Amino acid sequence: MIRTYVCLMSTPLNYTIHHTLGNARSGTVETLHGSFDTPAFMPVGTRATIKGILPQQVKETGSQILLNNTYHLMLRPGSELIRDMGGVHKFMNWNGPILTDSGGYQAYSMADINAIDEDGVTFKSILDGSKIRMNPEIAMRVQNELGPDIMMAFDDCPPSVDPQAGPVNQTRLRHAARRDTTKKNGYNHAERLQIANERTVRWLERCKASHARPEEQSLFGIVQGGTDLEQRDWSVERICNIDLPGYAIGGVAVGESTDDIAKIVRHTAPQMPTHKPRYLMGVGYERDIVAAVMSGVDMFDCVLPTRNGRNANAFTCEPGRDGQIRLRNAPFARDPLPIEPGCDCHACNPALHGWDTPDGQPFTRSYIRHLFMTGEMLGPILVTLHNLRFFQRLTSDLRDAIKAGDWSGLIAQRPHLKELIEANTPESNPK
């Protein structure tokens, strides 16, 4: 179905929805540094680089928008230096949209070396052990200096599940619980979720008030609430009641199951404003992205393509665990195939990108395994390029299916998704 919604606001972000299929939508987000198509997957360039990959090569994978991290760039080289060098776009030589995460996730992920209070978070620097302060005002100042197109509010990300509920990410959850325990009777998960929700709203209000460049940079708020759907309801109502150019779902993929991720997103996304971008933070497995798109999510980011690529794990449409093949494994030693037959990435089809190879030959699984086994840099580069292209092909296939008004094309391209798609398709929607 074709439905057009245009978000024309007093902000430097315009969002147009071109097509819908059930809750799924495809569209275009326009920023001052160009546009990107949705659903969109953002590669993670934590320190203003996609490790080992030239900016032009990142663009050739189909990537239109990148993510940088506020916390890490604040530590090194510092936001003032990047500001003085013309902003993060010029600093990293990327001529396209950039989104910065605020540092709120680091407050969760590095819970063993920080302390939270009502005003903000005190970190122990990973560089020299010194104290680093982050609060809403500092997060806004740093992001204003960095100069991204989209900046995230500083939020309080609590443990998504009770640390005592089961064997999921126990170490990190225990750290997060210990950090947040302020009462003598210890940690209460329901209470912690409510505290985080209320604090996130207050911090968002402070972020909006201290945002110094709203005419140039768009601020997104973040919905929290863990796996408690009532807490999600409470959060989405209050966060989305604050007028902003876009909104995100945070606090998922931090210890909960795949089914819980899908349930949270399926419950939360449709409650968020229709005419503004919806961003699911830190989710990167193919199955999770597809389910989220079918729930109405527009934007994604994750380190999986690049981190797994550096560790010889390649994403493919082949059946198997998370759709990945482990190229260090011995069976690939004499395998003449590309990483994924039919893929158009730099590794699988270098001739398509103008590379002069013997008879247009791809880089073989055998050769790539050799590179990893001998510690050569080219191995991580090739698999990273492939993985980035895999996820950009996925979002392109999703956009095509939504435009066509039928999921059958996506199933034809990725038959392993058939059961997932049918499980997430209402009976009233085409299959």
Tell me: do 169 and 123 sit in the same domain: yes
Structural contact between residues 52 and 309, judged by C-beta atoms closer than 8 angstroms: no
- The pTM score is 0.94
β 121-124/313-315 pair status: unpaired
DSSP run (H or E) holding 366 = helix 365-373
Tell me: do 282 and 427 sit in the same domain: no
Residue 213's domain is classified under what CATH number?
3.20.20.105
Tell me: do 159 and 173 sit in the same domain: yes
Measure the CA–CA gap between 190 and 426, rounded to whole angstroms: 32
| Ordered per-residue pLDDT tens for the chain, 431 residues | 555 444 444 569 999 999 999 999 999 999 999 999 999 999 999 999 999 999 999 999 999 999 999 999 999 999 999 999 999 999 999 999 999 999 888 887 777 778 889 999 998 888 999 999 999 999 999 999 999 999 999 999 988 887 766 555 556 666 666 665 455 567 788 998 999 999 999 999 999 999 999 999 999 999 999 999 999 999 999 999 999 999 999 999 887 889 999 999 999 999 999 999 999 999 999 999 999 999 999 999 999 999 999 999 999 998 776 789 999 999 999 999 999 999 999 999 999 999 999 999 999 999 999 999 999 999 999 999 999 999 999 999 999 999 999 999 999 999 999 999 999 997 644 43
Q: How many domains does the chain have?
A: 2
Looking at the DSSP bridge assignments, the partners of residue 98 are 66
Tell me: do 164 and 205 sit in the same domain: yes
Tell me: do 174 and 308 sit in the same domain: no
Measure the CA–CA gap between 366 and 2, rounded to whole angstroms: 46
Of the candidates 248, 281, 302, which is a domain's last residue?
Answer: 302
Tell me: do 346 and 282 sit in the same domain: no
Tell me: do 213 and 265 sit in the same domain: yes
- Give the range of the structural domain holding residue 293, as residue numbers without chain letter: 5-302
Tell me: do 185 and 310 sit in the same domain: no
Known catalytic residues? 101, 301
